[in-house]
Amino acid sequence: MPATALSDARLDRDAKEPLWQQLVAVLRDAIESGVLAPDQALPSEADLIDRYGVSRTVVREALAELVRRGQIYKIRAKGSFVAPPRRDLSFIGSNAGSSEDLAGTGRTVATRILSLDDGEADEQEAAALRVPEGTAVIRMRRLRTVDGTPWLLVQTTLPRDRFAGLLKAHLENRSLYDHLRRTYGVAPAGADRWLKAIIPSPEEASLLELPAGAPALDIVSVAWDEDGVPFEYYHALHRSDESRFYVGVR
């Protein structure tokens, strides 16, 4: 970073606001204005101490706050870096699927079908879809990537009788909800979703390209149509290190 990039900023020792908060504001403004670009290194702790005449404690408190806000990240023995902006995604709190939510972001989205077959509903699937155990169902496992990075690994279960022909459908890089809407006239009117953080299995971590022991967001969802009939049950793992979710409460 050019030595003069933040040279115009000054801290006010007579202000009521603590020096570490002032430094947070300086660095935050530099990030949000583009003076500091995504993945660009911040000045070192020693540089910040010399530039603003503050203690190491002030600098570390400021950097810790920026890490907490998700605006910078740290790499051991290398320093602090500007965090890439995280997209606000709303599908957790909406009836739209993840494809629809991503469609307007300008990002490159791809969906790979890992498996598509039929079977009999187990106890959990039957309870979610309100059908007897053993009812014929379709199971589909997909891996969605965003800008080439694995983003969502999802196992979906649908009642086979209601969606006859789905096993022969071409769903690669297509929205499942859009296909159900166009082909069967079925669209979600509501959904219940449960979220928790888990450690994926080795196979799941490999598909999501996560290091061993890294957490993922576990999502269980049951969607129903306008008549209140459940038509979709899914269990997904979301790699949430590059995005955040928006849930509006009104």
Q: Print pLDDT tens along the chain (250 aa).
A: 443 457 678 899 999 999 999 999 999 999 988 899 988 999 999 999 999 999 999 999 999 989 887 788 888 888 999 987 665 555 554 455 555 555 455 567 889 999 999 999 999 999 999 999 999 999 999 999 888 889 899 999 999 999 989 999 988 888 899 899 989 999 898 999 999 999 999 999 999 999 988 999 999 999 999 999 999 999 999 987 766 665 655 4
Burial of residue 1 (CB within 10 Å: 0-12, 13-18, 19+) is middle
Domain-ending residue, one of 44, 60, 80: 80
Asked if residue 5 is part of any domain, the answer here is no
Give the domain CATH number at 27.
Answer: 1.10.10.10
- Check whether residue 60 and residue 96 sit in a common domain: no
**57 backbone φψ class: left, alpha, beta (φ>0; ψ -120 to 50):** alpha
- Check whether residue 119 and residue 54 sit in a common domain: no
In three-state secondary structure terms, 115 is: strand
Q: Cα–Cα distance between 159 and 137 in angstroms, integer?
A: 4
The answer for residues whose C-beta is within 8 angstroms of residue 18's C-beta and 6 or more apart is: none
- Check whether residue 113 and residue 217 sit in a common domain: yes
- Check whether residue 113 and residue 177 sit in a common domain: yes
* Structural contact between residues 214 and 239, judged by C-beta atoms closer than 8 angstroms: no
pLDDT of residue 183: 92
Domain-ending residue, one of 58, 80, 102: 80
Q: Cα–Cα distance between 170 and 182 in angstroms, integer?
A: 13
pLDDT of residue 2: 41
Domain count, the chain: 2
pLDDT of residue 4: 45
Asked if residue 101 is part of any domain, the answer here is yes
- Check whether residue 126 and residue 210 sit in a common domain: yes
What's the whole-model pTM score?
A: 0.61
Q: Could you tell me the sign of the dihedral formed by the alpha carbons of 215, 223, 230, 162, in that order?
A: negative
Parent domain of 150: 85-243
